[in-house]
Chain A
């Protein structure tokens, strides 16, 4: 079946964007998420990742001590991914999570109010400025939240929970839409 071309089925394919003047909730393209795990004791990994990951096209999100996500809007071809993994070694290991995690964007002046219905993280810009990330529970679901703009957040969630989280976020946004 070499002629068969497998088709991608995005986890949130059936979800309609939720949008109003105060808030917008939208699935982000299922591009690339590489989970980087540094060798214990490695220093300056962020600048190392920046040099590898074409800063203009990729973003580096802190996950936990010694761990980051490199995210990109476009899927990374298999060969390129392997090259990236090779370039990371031996300082770090790369693990493909492009399908294991789904990204959701929530933005607008009421975005942080809506998110506060789920997360205990203080989302005030003074405590959670642009570029800051946190791993947190949103309701019952673990997620990775990054402030990507003054009024915009990116949420990275396990694929299996993506639909449930979307439904929860839509409910949290209801009063603002």
Chain B
């Protein structure tokens, strides 16, 4: 316990104390703290256990790259594992738990893994646990997974809401540090539409811990004033707590806004996270730079911290890292830290500089050790000493905190999300974003500019150039005066440290250490992509933000080449992890997918319909009545009633398309395989639409209501597909035709009235004469209803095989008209029926649906061979239909199937085998496409597609269902089970 809160300083609100717990222990912090700063303020150096070796780990960074301080926040459905304590804002009542330890963080049995480390090196699971082989799945893997891990997700549902939103701007600035603020101010003052995003709670970035002054103001005050000016501009949107996580095609950026992750009780009307898709004319990446760790022995011990993080905790949060701090630096930034620590009266024991000279003239109290490195550390759960290696000698110095400053890597991830590869700059000793990015610029530390004044100037200049290119006039930029900046950070990379003692970690989160990298290279996995996968370096949730560059440097050194030659692995979204909640957005529960409701939905509901989801539609499936125990009882009753009296069925979901124009008939003649050119006005015709390959695409009736106006119906499932197909035909295939297409599916409430009493019932509401003579089978006309109170379209068409009509009325009147028909039919026994009954009725008649039109059948397969026009010059599918394979006699053909024993049954999907054939797939001759119990036949009946089926009526076969182990003797038969002469259509 050596870190502590200073008595003054920092941006935390010392008048706003907050209580929180860590592993159940009550602790205190201040408003403005992160969980990490509050833990440090309470002297909690040990905050987690490492992934593989369960080594004690402390807080390494002060930002998004944190690999160690991963904790679980919250409880119940709000449990959030793997939360970076460095990013989590403190709030009253926050509950945090450490992870990957048992039984406790202080005493973790898993730490025994450290003793096994000789066997757990890179790729150990490729070499060990090889035998006995069955134990891998049953024992080895579960044990390994249990021993190595992160936090555990909750099994409870998340009570909070999430959503997505779009935003548009001229200039998107990513990062509200000095560069980003300068850029946003410049563009905002020029009148551009600006969005400025930053992952932090406060704008300012490095200004929040910088001790420089800008125009005489403290850096943090400059940031506050700049953001206040931005917020006052109506053309600027400042989005804090928002991480831009990806750059996508069309200059769209993904970002996640943590709206209420910093409060204990989220407001119900607000989401907790919002996923943004930001469309930017241009973007400026001002994401800053990440400090590189140094790879020395024990560099993961609690108390070892990045120098810039230590400076952040000191200056922004008023937290001292320890009582005796050492700084291991490869650049001048270590001296700025020393200066700030000493100004806060925190002892700096030593500055260990790997260089022979520094760019700053250090005059503090710390012992300055040049041309030296830290090669190891000591301590158990926190650092107690460092071992300094200089000139072949090693010296031990007692410390309780160590800062490491290994130079800076520009944060260029987003600039590489669209295929660009980072390029190594020997001058900057860093990977830089590729040149010539379209729609994206970089500025400031993200472009390896580190001097504060230069960052401000560069942000303003880039922004000015961008908005000027949009044609906006930019007011003259007046650059603020910077004083007290620690200067540039040019560093000489120090990949390999001599005399390393103990494990020197490269990837902290995945426990990849120096020897693992060496092992990968020596075993032939020296390509950066192979080394990554062999060692798992860079594969943790931090995606190697700290580790990748060091791994590349070490591989380069081992291979004797430049980092440029090694290159980087591929940068992909997401920059930091994004919750599934944010990705899902609002599409959960009631909002999971849209519901498409028929205009007769409420009519069906009040008649007790049981609904079934058909795509997005809710269709009435059957209408149970009192006393009926099973759905079959209801369906049998409905089926019998339609054939005996009449039934009313909602068929509004059928696709309906109005086709008009002077070439509408010619158009239909080309779209359908049968003739439509001479269809008389007032008549409907069943049509088959083929694909170019000759297979049937869809079917339905199309009626000619006027000379140049047709009313097409499609199947429910293919309604949108047929509309698209027709549009393609009209726009791309035959643009010379005058044809216009309008989807009218939703305009009409359409109901089928079927049964011998249908006409009698319907005549009560239809004003015109609909006798068989006046309105025969396949008549189709606009009709007047209720004495002219309403107009609709009436079609005499039948799917049930009974005398039947379909009546379409304007949708808003649908329920009222259905009510009227039920009233008109009350004395005639009318009942509502659903799609189950519809299906039984059509199977009894051998009518096909998409069960049979399965994409592999041609018209002849279903008995429609004669419908295909031989005289039309062309239609879609005509050419390919001539292929001999599509006319072969052994093609699957539509046939009926009944069980030999009426008491037996079988299921749709079952295979049809020849009698006596072995029950194997090799014996398969076809399959049952549709089946139902027919109350008229008294048994199961089915339609099937069977090889040469149409000439095998009467043949005994076996219906075999291998999945359920069922085998049923059956007979092939005529697919029309009921009224084969169609006499009932004309009663």
Contacts and interface: CB of A to CB of B under 8 A. Distances in A.
A1 B740 contact: no
B791 A78 contact: yes
B812 A99 contact: yes
A75 B163 CA distance: 37
Contact of A7 (B617, B709, B785, B813): B813
B786 A2 contact: yes
A15 to B, nearest CB: 13
Contacts of B661: 39, 93
A131 interface: no
Contacts of A167: 590-591
A174 B949 CA distance: 60
B790 interface: yes
A142 B175 CA distance: 35
A6 B746 contact: no
B595 interface: yes
A160 B746 contact: yes
Interface string A43-57: 000000000000000
Contact of B764 (A1, A8, A99): A1
B597 A163 contact: yes
B747 A100 contact: yes
Contact of B164 (A5, A8, A117): A117
Given A6-B816, A40-B735, A1 B824 contact: yes
Given A99-B748, A120-B277, A160 B617 contact: yes
Nearest to A115: B166
A95 B658 contact: yes
A119 B166 CA distance: 7
Contact of B811 (A100, A139, A171): A100
Contacts of A90: 662
Contacts of B785: 6
B165 A117 contact: yes
Which secondary structure dominates chain A's binding surface?
A: loop
A6 B790 contact: yes
B735 A95 contact: no
Interface string A134-177: 00000111000000000000000011110111011001101101
Given A100-B811, A140-B594, A1 B820 contact: yes
B596 interface: yes
Nearest to B653: A160
Contact of B810 (A38, A99, A163): A99
Contacts of B767: 2
B586 A139 contact: yes
A122 interface: yes
A127 interface: yes
B746 A95 contact: no
A8 B813 contact: yes
A93 B660 contact: yes
A135 B825 CA distance: 43
B172 to A, nearest CB: 13
B595 A10 contact: no
A89 B167 CA distance: 43
Given A1-B820, A127-B168, A39 B738 contact: yes
Interface string A21-53: 000000000100001011110000000000000
A101 B743 CA distance: 11
A9 B602 contact: yes
Interface in B260-280: 269-271, 277, 279
B835 interface: no
A159 B746 contact: yes
Contacts, number: 158
B744 A175 contact: no
A99 B269 contact: no
A112 B287 CA distance: 29
B787 interface: yes
Nearest to A5: B789
B813 A6 contact: yes
Contact of A122 (B168, B591, B660): B168
B269 A175 contact: yes
Given A4-B789, A100-B811, A160-B597, A140 B587 contact: yes
B652 to A, nearest CB: 8
A89 to B, nearest CB: 9
A39 B599 CA distance: 31
Interface in A64-98: 78, 90, 93, 95-98
A95 B740 CA distance: 10
A164 B269 contact: no
Interface string B787-798: 101110000000
A57 B590 CA distance: 38
A59 interface: no
A122 B746 contact: no
A112 to B, nearest CB: 11
A167 B591 CA distance: 8
B279 A37 contact: no
A107 B746 CA distance: 26
A78 B809 CA distance: 13
A30 B662 CA distance: 31
Contact of A95 (B597, B742, B812, B820): B742
A11 B791 contact: no
Contact of B586 (A121, A164, A168): A168
B128 interface: no
Contacts of B586: 117, 139, 168, 171-172
A90 B598 CA distance: 33
A163 B591 CA distance: 11
Given A159-B746, A163-B597, A9 B735 contact: no
Interface string B960-982: 00000000000000000000000
A163 B820 contact: no
B744 A100 contact: yes
A37 B660 contact: yes
Given A98-B810, A140-B587, A6 B817 contact: yes
A122 B165 CA distance: 11
Given A93-B660, A168-B586, A174-B269, A101 B735 contact: no
B202 interface: no
B815 interface: yes
A151 to B, nearest CB: 14
B745 interface: yes
Contacts of A164: 594-597
Contacts of B745: 100, 158, 160
Contacts of A132: none
Contact of A100 (B167, B269, B746, B817): B746
B594 A141 contact: yes
A37 B744 CA distance: 13
B812 A8 contact: yes
Nearest to A138: B594
Interface in B572-620: 586-587, 590-591, 593-599, 602, 617
Contacts of A158: 596, 745-746
Contacts of B738: 39-40
B594 A161 contact: yes
Contacts of A177: 269
B765 interface: yes
10 contacts: A3-B787, A8-B813, A11-B599, A11-B812, A95-B660, A126-B193, A139-B591, A164-B596, A167-B591, A171-B591
Interface of B: 163-168, 193, 269-271, 277, 279, 586-587, 590-591, 593-599, 602, 617, 658, 660-662, 709, 735, 738, 740-748, 764-765, 767, 785-787, 789-791, 809-817, 820, 823-824
Interface of A: 1-11, 30, 35, 37-40, 78, 90, 93, 95-101, 113, 116-117, 119-122, 124, 126-127, 139-141, 158-161, 163-165, 167-168, 171-172, 174-175, 177
Given A39-B738, A101-B746, A160-B617, 18 more contacts: A1-B764, A2-B767, A4-B765, A4-B820, A8-B816, A9-B816, A10-B812, A11-B812, A95-B658, A100-B746, A120-B279, A139-B587, A158-B596, A160-B597, A160-B598, A161-B594, A165-B594, A168-B586
Which 5 A/B pairs are nearest by Cβ-Cβ distance?
A100-B747, A2-B787, A37-B740, A99-B811, A100-B746
